[in-house]
Amino acid sequence: MSVRIPTRNGPSQGSDADLKVIFWNAGGLSNSKFLELKRSVLEKNVDIYVIVEAGAATDTPHLYSTVGYSTHVLKRSRQVASGIIIGIKTPLVCKTKIFHEMQDRGKLEMFQVEVWRNSKHVTLFLLYNPPDNIPALELVEQQIQPSTIIIGDFNSPSTRCGYSRTTNVGKHLEDFLYSNYLDVVNTPPTFLSFIGSQSRPDLVVTHPDITGKTSVTLPDDAAGCGHRALLVTCKLAKDKKAQNRAPRWNFKKADWKKYRECTDEVLTQLTLQEPEEAAKK
């Protein structure tokens, strides 16, 4: 786990109203692929970039770092398609931890990143789930908050996510979404296979309270890989509406002379009457 406090003279964070995250399945990270992604990160002033299926690159993360960003690594397991590299802009106030590593019984890989900006708190879960593996999403359930965003390659075919059918893995994802009242942000297909078919293994899942503030676009495909990168933007502008507060008056500015005249006039007009008689007037 790591916690970082921003310095006063760090590089610019871009718009205070946005949190920008690029998520990409590299399918095995190479130097040329990383340079392509880094160009997009810098051009779009991204706060956090996430590379899953980074593979052997996780053994030498110093070769895949970006100036102005701290690097966080979940090293690859015995499975070739594994390993995560995350870059976080150094002025950003955040806390990171490896939430789950690939194991024999559970192949899910996941980072948790908590971010504070503009007096707002956002919890990110960044994951990779290999094909045909039922992900242990129940680990996240107790951590879900109104500011939770889950970004990942779920590999969970489901009709809700644009697939023609729902597999057992997809059914597990659907149950997780329904039981926790979560939304899937609409995106175009994120993966193009060699035979030309398209699918959406890469998803952005949000709590309903933050869905309307979250958008997803697909930047140019990095290095021609089958997976396209996702640019997730979350609006974190400070609330412009004034909070409802109890009304207050400045009695020193009151016209007490006028007040006495009005109250005297009203009180002298009052008469003691039976309720039925007063109601007829």
pLDDT tens figures, 243-277: 444 454 556 567 778 878 887 777 777 665 655 66
How many domains are there within the chain? Answer: 1
User: Which residue reads 């129940």 in tokens?
Assistant: 138
The reply to whether 160 falls in a domain is: yes
The reply to whether 82 falls in a domain is: yes
- Candidates 145, 217, 129, 155; CA nearest to 182 is 145
Asked if residue 203 has pLDDT above 70, the reply is yes
The reply to whether 241 falls in a domain is: no
**Stretch 50-56: mean pLDDT, rounded?**
91
**Stretch 174-186: mean pLDDT, rounded?**
93
User: Of 83 and 188, which is predicted with more confidence?
Assistant: 83
- C-alpha distances in angstroms, 112 versus 93, 261, 264? 14, 68, 69
Q: What's the CATH number where 82 sits?
A: 3.60.10.10
The reply to whether 281 falls in a domain is: no
At residue 97, the pLDDT reads: 94
Asked if residue 4 has pLDDT above 70, the reply is no
Query: Hey, what long-range contacts does 234-242 have (CB within 8 A, 24 or more apart)?
Result: 234/18, 234/19, 234/20, 234/21, 234/122, 234/149, 234/210, 235/17, 235/18, 236/16, 236/17, 236/18, 236/19, 236/117, 236/118, 236/120, 236/122, 237/16, 237/17, 237/118, 238/118, 238/119
At residue 250, the pLDDT reads: 53
Range scoring the smallest mean pLDDT among 52-61, 72-81, 150-159: 72-81
Q: What is the value of pTM for the model shown?
A: 0.77
At residue 41, the pLDDT reads: 93
- C-alpha distances in angstroms, 242 versus 87, 90, 210? 36, 32, 20
- Average pLDDT along the chain: 82
pLDDT band for 219, please (50, 70, 90 cuts): confident
At residue 242, the pLDDT reads: 42
The reply to whether 66 falls in a domain is: yes
Asked if residue 9 has pLDDT above 50, the reply is no
At residue 249, the pLDDT reads: 53
At residue 168, the pLDDT reads: 95
Q: What is the pLDDT of residues 91-143, one digit of tens each?
A: 899 999 999 988 766 789 999 999 999 889 999 999 999 999 999 999 999 99
The reply to whether 9 falls in a domain is: no
pLDDT band for 217, please (50, 70, 90 cuts): very high
Tell me the pairing of strands 120-128 and 148-153: parallel
**Stretch 20-29: mean pLDDT, rounded?**
90
The reply to whether 29 falls in a domain is: yes
Helix (H) or strand (E) holding 157: none
Asked if residue 178 has pLDDT above 80, the reply is yes
pLDDT band for 26, please (50, 70, 90 cuts): confident
User: Of 13 and 34, which is predicted with more confidence?
Assistant: 34
**Stretch 148-175: mean pLDDT, rounded?**
91
At residue 94, the pLDDT reads: 94
The reply to whether 260 falls in a domain is: no
Residue-range definition of the domain harbouring residue 54? 14-235
Asked if residue 15 has pLDDT above 90, the reply is no
